């Protein structure tokens, strides 16, 4: 029986509709999210925590992709860049990622000295910069950024923790009034160190302590003996040091050689969070030093976190150890993982499903929708970004650091008191080579 022209047309239309549906489904199944990542994979910042952050970042992406990708549908393709511990390289790599690789989202950034110019450049091009690690408050303060976000803490909070610890423990532990305690603030002279030292000065004075020295230096300085001499002459009881890895090592070595003595040293993350490297150089000499930073996730009590986060932390730790062959998992791994996890699980699904795309406008709107309560991330704090037209637009208002103490081969939480895992050892015991 011959087929009519009308039947043929109906059949063709139906076939075309099926083919169109199949093509749309294939496109959806094949759609990916390309994200640029910038870390210092070489140079002095690499060992200061940048590589550890990048590994945490990679682990988060791997875990999401193993479950099908963002929202279980869209695979994440990282486009990696090495900023080589140089600000100009970081800027050039960001430009390459945006103009040549055509990525709309860039995440990472370890050094605040890179984050400040990168935030301005990427904001200008209305692309998304998602900072995982750099802490300088200056990145956001009074900039009214719309496309730059940071769930990480900011440098002013280091000062709050420093002053809070001193205010709570000086009289009880040292047996003197805070006004009798002398504080020396030393720092690398980039935005990270300058920001931490400024906050330390403000909050140490609020705690009633004397700030007898505030001194910056180049992180690339080949000799810090003059700085050691200044600290000795100041008679400081407490030192706060914001530095990276090579300069911390140099300061501590030259301090030991020149008889520097004090009652406590507080690090401000960065190189002081790389305990495996410090311990390889100084052994037990760094025991009982304190460090202010977001907490390594594995130190938290999983029972106080949202359901499932304990298992997630365990997986992150196991994968980091497998990738690196080391047992020590620094806090920078948690930073890289945590901020990436929030982006992939709390922001991008909303951008696609509520705002229809992964473009910068959709991602920006989705980021401002994020509302994670305390205990809702692997580092314990919640996430809610300050909105536009506020002094810290784009910064997480719920981030918080802790004061930790090196207790031999492990790290303990000593402040805030309500979540501490050990009463602080303060001052340093007489057995310490640095003890006053």
CB 75 within 8 A of CB 69: yes
Element (H, E) at 135: none
Per-residue pLDDT averaged across 254-266, rounded?
95
pLDDT for 16: 46
Q: Would you say residue 117 has pLDDT above 90?
A: yes
Q: What would the pLDDT profile of 141-166 be if each residue is shown by its tens digit?
A: 999 999 999 999 998 999 999 999 99
Q: What's the burial of 230, exposed, middle or buried (CB within 10 Å: 0-12/13-18/19+)?
A: middle
Rounded-to-integer distance, Cα 330 and Cα 245, Å: 13
For the chain, domain boundaries: 30-153+300-369, 156-293+401-419
CB 372 within 8 A of CB 384: yes
CATH number of 30-153+300-369: 3.40.50.2300
pLDDT for 419: 77
**Residue 53: left if φ>0, alpha if ψ -120 to 50, beta else—which one?**
alpha
pTM over 0.85: no
DSSP class per residue in 148-172: EEE-S--THHHHHHHHHHHHHHIII
Rounded-to-integer distance, Cα 215 and Cα 194, Å: 9
Q: Which of 88, 157, 156, 101 is nearest to 127 (CA)?
A: 101
Proportion of the chain above pLDDT 70, given as a percent: 93
Confidence of residue 25 (pLDDT cuts 50, 70, 90): very low
Supply the angle between the helices 191-206 and 156-169 in degrees, to the nearest 10: 30
Confidence of residue 55 (pLDDT cuts 50, 70, 90): very high
Per-residue pLDDT averaged across 16-36, rounded?
58
pLDDT for 192: 86
Alpha carbon 251 to its chain centroid, in Å, reads: 24
308 Cβ contact list (under 8 Å, min separation 6):
none
Phi, psi of 300 (to 5 degrees): -80, 155
Look at the block and give the residue holding tokens 């980039």: 190
Q: Which of 53, 114, 35, 136 is nearest to 330 (CA)?
A: 53
What would the two tokens of residue 311 be? 């298992």
pLDDT for 30: 62
Per-residue pLDDT averaged across 328-332, rounded?
90
CATH number of 156-293+401-419: 3.40.50.2300
Rounded-to-integer distance, Cα 388 and Cα 315, Å: 36
Domains 30-153+300-369 and 156-293+401-419 share a fold: yes
């Amino acid at each position: 029986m011959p087929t009519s022209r009308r039947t043929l047309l109906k059949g063709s239309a139906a076939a075309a509709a099926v083919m169109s549906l199949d093509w749309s489904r294939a496109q959806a199944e094949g759609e990916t999210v390309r994200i640029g990542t910038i870390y210092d994979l070489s140079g002095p910042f690499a060992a200061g925590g940048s590589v550890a952050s990048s590994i945490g970042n990679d682990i988060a992406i791997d875990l999401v992709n193993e479950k099908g990708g963002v929202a279980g549908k869209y695979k994440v393709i990282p486009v990696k860049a090495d900023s080589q511990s140089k600000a100009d390289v970081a800027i050039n790599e960001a430009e390459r990622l945006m103009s040549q690789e055509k990525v709309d989202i860039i995440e990472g950034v370890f050094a605040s000295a890179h984050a400040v110019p990168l935030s301005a450049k990427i904001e200008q091009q209305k692309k998304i910069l998602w900072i995982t690690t750099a802490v300088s408050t200056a990145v956001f303060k009074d900039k009214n950024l719309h496309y730059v976000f940071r769930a990480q803490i900011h440098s002013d909070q280091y000062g709050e923790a420093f002053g809070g610890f001193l205010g709570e423990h000086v009289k009880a532990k040292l047996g003197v009034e805070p006004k009798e305690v002398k504080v020396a603030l030393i720092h690398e002279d980039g935005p990270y160190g300058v920001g931490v030292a400024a906050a330390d000065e403000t909050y140490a004075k609020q705690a009633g302590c004397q700030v007898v020295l505030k001194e910056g230096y180049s992180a690339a300085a080949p000799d810090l003996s003059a700085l050691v001499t200044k600290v000795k002459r100041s008679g400081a009881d407490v030192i706060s040091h914001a530095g990276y890895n090579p300069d911390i090592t140099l300061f501590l070595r030259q301090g030991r050689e020149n008889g520097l003595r004090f009652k406590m040293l507080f690090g401000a993350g960065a190189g002081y969070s790389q305990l495996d490297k410090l311990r390889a150089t100084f052994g037990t000499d760094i025991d009982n030093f304190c460090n202010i930073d977001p907490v390594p996730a594995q130190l938290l009590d999983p029972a106080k976190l949202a359901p499932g986060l304990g298992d997630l932390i365990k997986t992150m730790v196991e994968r980091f150890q497998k990738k690196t062959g080391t047992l020590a998992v620094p806090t920078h791994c948690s930073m890289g993982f945590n901020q990436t996890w929030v982006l992939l699980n709390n922001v991008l699904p909303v951008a696609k499903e509520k705002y229809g795309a992964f473009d910068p406008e959709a991602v920006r709107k989705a980021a401002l929708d994020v509302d994670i309560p305390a205990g809702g991330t692997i580092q314990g704090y919640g996430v809610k970004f300050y909105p536009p037209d506020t002094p810290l637009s784009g910064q997480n208002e719920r981030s918080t650091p802790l004061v930790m103490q090196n207790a031999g081969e492990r790290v303990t939480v000593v402040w805030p008191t309500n979540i501490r895992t050990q009463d602080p050892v303060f001052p340093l015991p007489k057995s310490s080579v640095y003890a006053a």
